[in-house]
Amino acid sequence: MKTIALVAHDGKKQALLNWVGQHKAFFINKNLVATGTTGKMVAEVLQQEVVCLASGPLGGDQQIGAMIAEQKIDWLVFFWDPLSSQPHDPDVKALIRLAVVWNIPVACNQATADFIVHSNLYQQNYQREVPDFSVYQNRLEQK
C-alpha cells in the first residue's frame, strides 16, 4: 500500500485541506503520515487515520526526511509557504532535498499535486527508480 506524506505550513494549510477534501476517494487505501498539526487537520477532513509525527518546527520535517531515506514514503505533498519565513527553514530545505535525493515524487503546490493524482503513471502503480548511490559508498570506503 502506498504511503503518502502530507505537510503544510500555516499559510498553506487551508489550501492543502481544500485539496485533500477534493480528493477524498483517492486517499482511501493509502497510508498517510504527516507533521503534527497538518496531520490532525487532514484526519478531520478525511475521517481517516493519519500517523501524526512531531510538529514541523519541533522536528516533524526531519522525521519525514528520515522516513524518505528509509524508503518508507512513496510521495511527498509539501505545501510550503514561499511568502513567510520559517524558524525551521533548514529542516524545510533538508526535507525537500531528501525527496530529490531519493527520487520520490514531490508536489509543492496544488497544480502539481493534481497532476500526480490524475497521472496514469500513478494509477499504474508507478515504481520510481531508486538512485544508485554506490559511487558515494565507494568514496566513503576509500577514505
Ligand X SMILES: O=C(CO)COP(=O)(O)O
Q: Which of residues 1-30 bind ligand X (CB under 6 A)?
A: 7, 9
- Label residue 127 left, alpha or beta by phi (over 0 means left) and psi (-120 to 50 means alpha): beta
Nearer to ligand X, 79 or 102 (CB): 79
Which listed residue (27, 32, 56, 63) binds ligand X by CB under 6 A? 56
Residues 99, 82, 73: CA angle, nearest 5 degrees: 20
Number of residues that bind ligand X (CB under 6 A): 12
Least distance CB 41 / ligand X (angstroms): 8
Write the single-letter amino acid at 132.
D
Identify the burial level of 31 via C-beta atoms within 10 angstroms of its C-beta, where 0-12 means exposed, 13-18 middle and 19 or more buried: middle
- To the query of whether residue 61 is one of the catalytic residues in this protein, the response is yes
Q: Is 11 annotated as a binding residue?
A: no
Question: What residues form the annotated binding site?
Answer: 9, 13, 35-38, 55-56, 88
Residues labelled catalytic: 61
